[in-house]
Amino acid sequence: MKRVIVGLSGGVDSSVAAYLLKEQGYEVIGLFMKNWHDDSVTISNECPWLDDSNDAMLVAEKLGIPFQTVDLSKEYKERIVDYMFKEYESGRTPNPDVLCNREIKFDVFMKIALDLGADFVATGHYCRKGHLEKNEKTIYQLLAGKDQNKDQSYFLCQLSQEQLSKTLFPIGELTKPEVRAIATKLDLVTAEKKDSQGLCFIGKVKLPDFLQQQLKPKAGVIVEIPEEQEYYFEATPNFNSQKEKLDYLARKIQYSKADGKIVGEHQGAHFFTKGQRKGLAVGGTAEPLFVLDTDVDENVIYTGQGKNHPGLLKKALFVKSDDIHWIREDLALQMEESMEVMARIRYRQPLEKAKLYQFEHGLYVEFEKDQSAITEGQFVAWYLEDELVGSGVIS
């Protein structure tokens, strides 16, 4: 009998995943990961991880499976929290959920599970796993979940063949309503529980509060850039090569305070991210202001009116060589090769037509349509039909 360790998070998805595995005849063990101790940054006085671990324990009891809690807060702090602060400080916007899966759930947690004699680990992600044989070798595929509204493959875009080979996604073939219905029928305590929001595992954390613990507030100005600014209307130069053209499309505009007018103040450019609309607290504009860019060295936030402001839109992005990750290593592009794909730059964004171009120093992703708020530090993921084949950190 194969042994599977399920990451029971205290939510409905992982509860039903554990039940389905048991039905399929696996020996199932539930493991709850405790990743955070500091209760001073949760939104209210409820203690989410305690409630969650309690719910996970009740589910395990109900399903009749062994249950254990592991404390990973040391690894979580080192690999996720410290990294996030470093990224924000340098003006980039990390994606803690993608990292949490790569560094914690499918690395630290997986090692613990395998040490406990598990053949597989399982999670409540809405995605599916496939496989194919190529040159007498099994290759694993990460496929989108059946539920289009809930597909979570994007969050797993950094997984490796090795990690995928030992992972199961029991609810990938189901929709959220079907998962809830199973939980209700089993009378699980998590059946009606709302989906968790907030940082992966820390619970309901307010990001600015969380950041403020480490990054000191520092007053600076908010500058509004008019959409008539001449650099938005430059004539496109003639390019001598594809690479020159891609460089141009992916370029970053260097803003300065002289380009617009000062419309307000803020408490630290590193608390803001491209495309952000809330929290600027500047009124009186015809359309809402969006963050176009932040300059953490000068501590200035550049903004523009309306979601179609030219400063938000771009057709291409660049991923440095070190930051390119192929789940399907067999499909990795060689020098000067290109590939038509579907891609997204954030979770739940509909997939968009794009083309990848590989060069010596990295990879360009050129979209057919303009993309809004392409953000450094976030992940771009590319797909062939419903298979996520690779991803990279936007540079």
Which residues, 6+ apart, have CB-to-CB distance to 10 below 8 Å?
32, 51, 52, 53, 54, 55, 56, 59, 190, 193
Q: Which residue, among 349, 222, 333, has the nearest Cα to 277 in the 3D structure?
A: 222
User: Which residues have a catalytic role annotated?
Assistant: 100, 200
CATH of the domain at 353: 2.40.30.10
Cβ(330)–Cβ(139) under 8 Å?
yes
Q: Could you tell me the CA-to-CA distances from 145 to 106, 127, 203 in Å, in that order?
A: 18, 4, 24
* Relative orientation angle of helices 176-185 and 12-23, to the nearest 10 degrees: 70
Judgement on whether residues 292 and 327 belong to the same structural domain of the protein:
no
Of 289, 307, 325, which residue is a domain's last? 307
Instruction: Tell me how far apart the alpha carbons of residues 106 and 17 are, in angstroms, rounded to a whole number.
Output: 16
Given the structure tokens 């995928």, which residue do they identify? Answer: 164
Whether 366 is in a domain gets the answer yes
Q: What is the CATH number of the domain that holds 278?
A: 2.30.30.280
| Residue 95 located in a structural domain | yes
Same domain, yes or no, for 8 and 96?
yes
Based on the domain organization, do 273 and 131 belong to the same domain?
no
Whether residue 131 is found in the same domain as residue 105: yes
Could you tell me which residues are beta bridge partners of residue 289?
A: 305
Chain centroid to Cα 213, Å, comes to 23
Residue 215 bridge partners (DSSP): none
Residue 322 lies in a domain: yes
Per-residue model confidence (pLDDT) at position 211: 75
Domain that holds residue 171: 3-212
**Residue 317: inside a domain:** yes
CATH number of residue 138's parent domain: 3.40.50.620
Place of tokens 């499918």: 106
The residue from 154, 185, 212 where one domain ends is: 212
Largest Cα–Cα separation, the chain? 69
Beta strands 120-122 and 67-71: pairing type?
unpaired
Residue 358 domain flag: yes
pLDDT of the residue at 208: 65
> Are residues 286 and 322 both part of a single domain?
no
- Residue 253 belongs to some domain of the structure: no
Cβ–Cβ < 8 Å for 289, 306: no
Q: Pick from 80, 39, 40, 34: which is nearest to 54 by CA?
A: 34
366 shares a domain with 270: no
Rg for the chain, CA atoms, rounded: 23
Q: Mean pLDDT per segment of 10 residues, for the chain of length 395 residues?
A: 96 97 98 77 59 94 97 90 89 90 94 96 97 96 95 97 98 97 96 73 61 84 96 93 96 96 95 92 93 96 97 97 98 98 96 98 98 96 98 97
Question: For the chain, what is the domain count?
Answer: 3
Q: How far apart are CA 318 and CA 177, in angstroms?
A: 38
> Do 168 and 267 sit in the same domain of this protein?
no
Burial class (CB in 10 A: 0-12, 13-18, 19+), 21: buried
Give the neighbor-by-neighbor strand order of the sheet with 3-7.
Answer: 67-71, 27-34, 3-7, 120-122, 167-168
Task: Determine the pLDDT at residue 206.
Answer: 64
Rounded to an integer, what distance in angstroms lies between the CA atom of residue 326 and that of residue 160? 8
**Is 35 among the domain residues?**
yes
What length is written for the chain? Answer: 395
Statement to judge: residues 96 and 167 lie in one domain: yes
HSE on the CB side for 338, CA within 13 Å?
Answer: 12
Overall pTM > 0.85: yes
338 and 297 inside one domain: no
Same domain, 295 and 177: no
Clarify whether residues 58 and 30 are in a common domain.
yes
Confidence (pLDDT) at 210: 74
**3-state SS class at 69:** strand
Q: Which residue, 153, 188, 212, sits at the end of a domain?
A: 212
In this structure, the answer to whether residues 371 and 289 fall within a common structural domain is no
Residue 142 counted as domain residue: yes
